[in-house]
């Protein structure tokens, strides 16, 4: 589905040093993804001990500690795009890292429950902001042919952050030190801040600000010599064509905004975080012992990381669409298998328990190879430069809002319709998502962001046409 290679793209074969440079810069920036994963994952284990320290918290008070982060993330995602378009990508990452440090230290040293809630909202601002600025920055700095893999360092970092948080929760559970569980996140936050001080601003953003000399200096480090002038000319040309944020609702952008928002919503309403946040409780409820449930959870987290590594490797080889479509089909299979295993009742034993766990593992692995990384990658690729930050903000915000709705309603849903009904519902929604992706999601592999922008706005070829004429 990708466009045939253009002569310019052929020349776009950075040498080892360019590759090393962008790999290093992507890895530093992806610490933002690590913090995203860690801060969303750590709370499940920490809650067990927080509730004791504050003299017993009600379920609602516990839910607030978890979900206020998501509310903060909606706000952070909304603000960060506008800020990134205005002050630049690099300064936005620096600001985000500073907010992370502030939030996690406040959580670690909190004197009271209300202050902990404030800290969770502040951490949420940073998580929401990081979730859009990291793919945005990496996407603009790396050369097209590596973009899929390097932008997906972000998803790899998210999944690693989740896994590390499970392990740290487990490791600190004997000392019950929930303050340290929160506070340890200050380490990657400080690393992100200091690492970013040595990174360059995004060349695309510099050109939109008329700072072409600086953009050229940055590009000299991350592109082949022959590509630099052409890229600057292209960026200049497309950035002159648009009117600014009002463009977000212009007829030629609206369908793309829809694609980003629906990818975001589908990423959440197909149920990933009901597994990420609740798997141990789900498995305990189905009759697993404590340690079997925790072990299955760690294995699930490891599968999530492992399959994301496979995705990083494959995204620039086979393209985004094949992974998205195969992965989403796999998610539907996994969910339906899990649902079937609950048909005989909510208490699982013997073979049925194994089938349920295999279904969930298969589901997570399939998410990790497709919809997990592809959502964050595509929203960094499909929007016109001038409004890229703002459009990504809208999609990211939709992701956090959908996450919030699913997370807050999941346990109620489970009580109302049981495991069978809940998992069949997620399976069905996954099939709807698959049909939508099949029809509307464009392939972006191997093309420069400028080429994608041109293709998606004028007389595109299939499957891009489906998007542009929606
Ligand atoms: C999603 C998160 C999810 C994570 C799991 C991300 O792509 O946006 O909501 O927790 O993947 O790996």
Q: List, for the chain, all residue ranges whose pLDDT scores fall below the cut of 70.
A: 1-15, 241-245, 458-470
For the segment 243-285, what is each residue's pLDDT rounded down to a tens digit? 566 777 788 788 899 999 999 999 999 999 999 888 887 888 7
Residues 6+ apart with CB under 8 A from 287: 347, 348, 349, 353
* Distance from the alpha carbon of residue 238 to the mean position of ligand 1, in angstroms: 32
The whole model's pTM is what? 0.88
CA 213/CA 451 separation, integer angstroms: 22
Nearest CA to ligand 1 atom 2: 273
Nearest CA to ligand 1 atom 6: 372
CA 360/CA 357 separation, integer angstroms: 5
* Distance from the alpha carbon of residue 425 to the mean position of ligand 1, in angstroms: 19
Which has the closest alpha carbon to 145: 323, 16, 325, 19? 19
Instruction: Judge if the beta carbon of residue 366 lies within 6 A of ligand 1.
Output: no
Residues 6+ apart with CB under 8 A from 252: 457, 468
State the closest ligand 1 atom to the C-alpha of 277, by its place in the atom list counted from 1.
10
Question: Which of 74, 272, 306, 371, when mutated, tests ligand 1's pocket best, judged by the most ligand atoms within 8 Å of its CB?
Answer: 272
CA 132/CA 396 separation, integer angstroms: 6
State the closest ligand 1 atom to the C-alpha of 368, by its place in the atom list counted from 1.
12
Cα angle: 183, vertex 186, 191; to 5 degrees: 160
Nearest CA to ligand 1 atom 7: 372
For the segment 293-319, what is each residue's pLDDT rounded down to a tens digit? 888 888 999 999 999 999 999 999 999
Q: How many CB atoms lie within 10 A of CB 69?
A: 29
**DSSP, residue by residue, 127-167:** HHHHHHHHHHHHHHHS-HHHHHHHHTHHHHHHHHHHHHHHH
Q: How many CB atoms lie within 10 A of CB 412?
A: 9
Q: How many CB atoms lie within 10 A of CB 350?
A: 7
Q: How many residues does the chain have?
A: 470
Which has the closest alpha carbon to 415: 268, 265, 278? 278
* Distance from the alpha carbon of residue 42 to the mean position of ligand 1, in angstroms: 14
Nearest CA to ligand 1 atom 5: 159
State the closest ligand 1 atom to the C-alpha of 367, by its place in the atom list counted from 1.
12
Question: Which of 275, 276, 302, when mutated, tests ligand 1's pocket best, judged by the most ligand atoms within 8 Å of its CB?
Answer: 276
């Amino acid at each position: 589905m990708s466009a045939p290679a253009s002569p310019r793209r052929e020349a776009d074969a950075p040498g080892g040093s360019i590759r090393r440079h962008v790999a290093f810069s992507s890895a530093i920036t992806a610490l933002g993804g690590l913090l995203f994963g860690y801060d969303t994952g750590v709370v499940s284990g920490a809650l067990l001990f927080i509730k004791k320290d504050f003299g017993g918290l009600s379920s609602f008070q516990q839910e607030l500690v978890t979900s206020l982060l998501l509310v903060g993330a909606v706000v952070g995602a909304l603000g960060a795009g506008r800020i990134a378009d205005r002050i630049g990508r690099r300064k936005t990452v620096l600001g985000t890292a500073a907010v992370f440090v502030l939030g996690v230290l406040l959580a670690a040293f909190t004197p009271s429950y209300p202050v902990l809630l404030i800290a969770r909202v502040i951490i949420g601002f940073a998580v929401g902001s990081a979730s859009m600025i990291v793919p945005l920055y990496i996407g603009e700095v790396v050369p097209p042919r590596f973009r899929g893999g390097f932008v997906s360092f972000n998803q790899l970092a998210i999944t690693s952050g989740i896994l590390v948080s499970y392990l740290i929760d487990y490791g600190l559970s004997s000392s019950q030190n929930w303050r340290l569980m929160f506070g340890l996140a200050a380490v990657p936050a400080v690393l992100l801040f200091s690492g970013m001080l040595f990174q360059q601003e995004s060349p695309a953003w510099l050109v939109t600000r008329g700072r072409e000399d600086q953009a050229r200096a940055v590009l000299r480090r991350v592109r082949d010599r022959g590509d630099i002038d052409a890229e600057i000319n292209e960026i200049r040309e497309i950035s002159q064509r648009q009117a600014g944020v009002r463009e977000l609702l212009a007829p030629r952008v609206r369908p793309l905004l829809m694609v980003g928002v629906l990818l975001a919503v589908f990423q959440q309403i197909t149920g990933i975080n009901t597994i990420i946040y609740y798997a141990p409780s789900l498995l305990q409820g189905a009759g697993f012992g404590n340690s079997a449930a925790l072990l299955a959870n760690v294995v699930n987290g490891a599968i999530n990381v492992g399959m994301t590594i496979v995705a990083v490797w494959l995204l620039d080889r086979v393209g985004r669409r094949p992974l998205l479509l195969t992965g989403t089909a796999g998610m539907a299979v996994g969910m339906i298998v899990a649902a079937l295993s609950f048909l005989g009742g909510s208490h699982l034993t013997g073979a049925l328990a194994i089938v349920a766990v295999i279904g969930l593992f298969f589901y997570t692995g399939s998410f990790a190879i497709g919809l997990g990384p592809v959502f964050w990658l595509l929203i960094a690729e499909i929007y016109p430069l001038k409004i890229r930050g703002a459009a990504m903000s809208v999609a990211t915000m939709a992701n956090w809002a959908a996450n919030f709705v699913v997370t807050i309603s999941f346990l109620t849903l489970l009580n109302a319709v049981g495991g069978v009904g809940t998992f069949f519902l997620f399976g069905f929604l996954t099939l709807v998502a698959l049909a939508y992706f099949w029809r509307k999601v464009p392939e972006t592999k191997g093309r420069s962001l400028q080429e994608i922008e041109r293709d998606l706005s004028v007389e595109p070829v299939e499957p891009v046409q489906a998007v542009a004429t929606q």
